[in-house]
Amino acid sequence: MAFWTQLGLLLWKNFTYRRRQTFQLLIEVAWPLFIFFILISVRLSYPPYEQHECHFPNKAMPSAGTLPWIQGIICNANNPCFRYPTPGESPGIVGNFNASIVSRLFSDARRLLLYSQQDTSIKDVQKVLGTLRKLGNSSGLDLKLRDFLIDNETFSDFLHHNVSMPSSAVEELLDAGVNLQQV
């Protein structure tokens, strides 16, 4: 048989069955309508309310290392929700301190150790030594927290907007001295 002939016979059979079973037809039509009206009544009695976006501070996974993982658990134990995007929300970024002095020192040393066969190893040694001199020449009282951040880093914006610290408190925090021996 052709497709259209089979379809026509199937529709005729279905129509005949429905015409003979009127009570079943009424139930099949009324039941979904009843459920639909229940959903409408619930929606009308409890209207939706607006809620702001929720941005959570980024947390390191165990593969990032034991120390960053434990710091992420302890520092964000209460799991705060912020209205604005937090620094480091991009995929692959664990923190927003990737261009600070210490992280640059580690990345330079890593690049030096991993790619020491290349011709640029002398330049890398000079970069590492320059960073070490910069750290060695300054005593713990000379270094401020601001020195460990790059110029356009969003840490102060994060503290000001998401933690709701006043600008004066953020400035005092960024001007706090850092003792390298304790670090």
Q: What 3 state SS string does the chain have?
A: CCHHHHHHHHHHHHHHHHHHCHHHHHHHHHHHHHHHHHHHHHHHHCCCCCCCCCECCCCCCHHHCHHHHHHHHHHCCCCCCECCCCCCCCCCCCCCCCCCHHHHHHHHHHHHHHCCCCCCHHHHHHHHHHHHHHHHHCCCCCCEHHHHCCCCCCHHHHHHHCCCCCHHHHHHHHCCECCCCCC
Instruction: Provide the pLDDT for residue 66.
Output: 80
Range of 39-43, 52-56, 61-65 with top mean pLDDT: 39-43
Per-residue pLDDT for 39 more than 80?
yes
Model confidence at 34: pLDDT above 90 = yes
Please give the model's pTM, rounded to 2 decimal places.
Answer: 0.28
For residues 106 and 161, the model is more confident at 106
pLDDT of 33 > 90? The answer is yes
